[in-house]
Amino acid sequence: MIRFADEHTRDAVRAMWKTCFGDPDDYMDLYFRHKYRDEQTLIYFEGEKAVASLQMLPYYFTFHGCEIPVLYLSGVCTLPEARKKGFSHRLLLRSFEVARERDVPLLLLVPQEEWLLRFYAKFGFAQTFDAGSDPLPSLRHVLNAHSGDLYAAYLAFDAHFRHRDMTLQKSFNDFRAMAEEASLYHFPPKKNLIGMARVIDLERLLQLYAATRSDVSISLSVEDGLISGNSGFYSVSDGLINRSEHQPASSLQMDIGELTQHLMGYHTAARGPQIAALFPEKVPAMHYMLE
C-alpha cells in the first residue's frame, strides 16, 4: 500500500533515510527542516510497516525560455530487508501519477551512483545533465558581499542563473537552505551535477518547444512504455503541434528517453545534422541540491 506521509509516519521516513543513506544528524536536521513535507512524501507500507519512500520536491525549471514546474525526486530508498520486491518500482510509478495530478510535466533526479543511471532508465528517465568540471559561483563570496542581507545575496546568486535556459531555478527559501548547508560544511566548492529527466506530459513540453521554433516542420512517432498518454504521432509546424491517430510516412521514430534528451538539447550536436538542426545543443544545468 502507498500513502502520503503524515504526522504519524514522518519519523519513520527519517529513520529510513538514516538507515539507507547514513547521513549525519546535522545534515538530516537541515534537510528535514527545510525540504521535507508530508504532502510531498510517498511511503510504501508492507503491512503496517513503512519500508520504502521517496520525496517529490517542487522547483521551477527554465525550458525553452519558459519556467515550468518540476518535481525533483529525493531520498528514494527501501529498507535493506525489503529490497528486490518492487516497492521502489511502485513508488516511482505513483510519483508519475502525482506529477500528472499536480500538472507537473517533468521529473528530475540526481543518481548518486553510476548503476542508478541504468536503474532509472527502465522507468523512462534519460541522462540530460552532465557533471560539471568548473566550480560554480562561491556561496561564501556571495554571502560575504552582502553580509547581513540574505535576500540581497539571493538576488546576486539568482542573477547568475535566472535567464539561463535548461536550468533548475532556486527560490529564496531554497537559497536559505543552501547557505545553511554550505556554512555547515565550511563552504565546499560546488559543481554542476549529473542528472536525469523523465517527461510526464509530452504534449505540453512539445508545445513549448514548438512555440520557439516556428521554422521547424517535423513529424514524430513516440513510444512510451509506461505513460501511454505520451505515446503517439505528433506533428510540429508553424509553432504549433498536432496529434494524429495515424503515423505520417516520414516521421522520426524515437522512444521517450531519446526525445527527452533532444528536447533538452543534450549533446544533440553529436546526433547528426538533422537532429542538431531540429534540436540545437544546450547545456542543461542542475546544482546546489543539498547533495
Q: Does the pLDDT value for residue 234 go beyond 90?
A: yes
Regarding beta strands 49-63 and 2-4, do their DSSP bridges make them parallel or antiparallel, or are they unpaired?
A: unpaired
Q: Does the pLDDT value for residue 245 go beyond 90?
A: no
Domain range list for the chain: 2-104, 139-190
Average pLDDT over residues 210-217: 95
Helix (H) or strand (E) holding 211: helix 202-211
For residues 220 and 74, the answer to whether their CB atoms sit within 8 Å is: no
The pLDDT confidence band at residue 246, using thresholds 50, 70 and 90, is confident
Give pLDDT, residue 271: 96
Give pLDDT, residue 86: 97
Residue ranges in 162-281 assigned as alpha helix (H): 172-184, 202-211, 256-263, 273-278
Report residue 163 as a C-alpha cell: 535567464
The pLDDT confidence band at residue 291, using thresholds 50, 70 and 90, is confident
Query: Which of 19-28, 68-77, 237-246 bottoms out in mean pLDDT, i.e. has the lowest?
Result: 237-246
Which of 224, 289, 262 has its CA nearest to residue 93? 224
Q: Does the pLDDT value for residue 249 go beyond 80?
A: no
Q: Does the pLDDT value for residue 181 go beyond 90?
A: yes
The fold of 2-104 is: Aminopeptidase (3.40.630)
84: left (phi over 0), alpha (psi -120 to 50) or beta: left
Give pLDDT, residue 247: 84
pLDDT in tens, 129-156: 999 999 999 999 999 999 999 999 999 9
User: Which one-letter amino acid corresponds to residue 70?
Assistant: V
CA distance 106 to 95: 11
Regarding beta strands 106-109 and 66-78, do their DSSP bridges make them parallel or antiparallel, or are they unpaired?
A: parallel
CA distance 24 to 258: 38
Mean pLDDT of the chain, nearest integer: 97
Which of 210, 198, 207 has its CA nearest to residue 129? 198
Give pLDDT, residue 264: 99
Q: At what angle do helices 256-263 and 202-211 cross, to 10 degrees?
A: 30
Q: At what angle do helices 10-21 and 25-34 cross, to 10 degrees?
A: 140
- Give percent helix, percent strand, percent coil of the chain, each to the nearest 5: 40, 25, 35
For residues 239 and 214, the answer to whether their CB atoms sit within 8 Å is: yes
Report residue 212 as a C-alpha cell: 520557439
Average pLDDT over residues 175-192: 96
Alpha carbon 267 to its chain centroid, in Å, reads 18
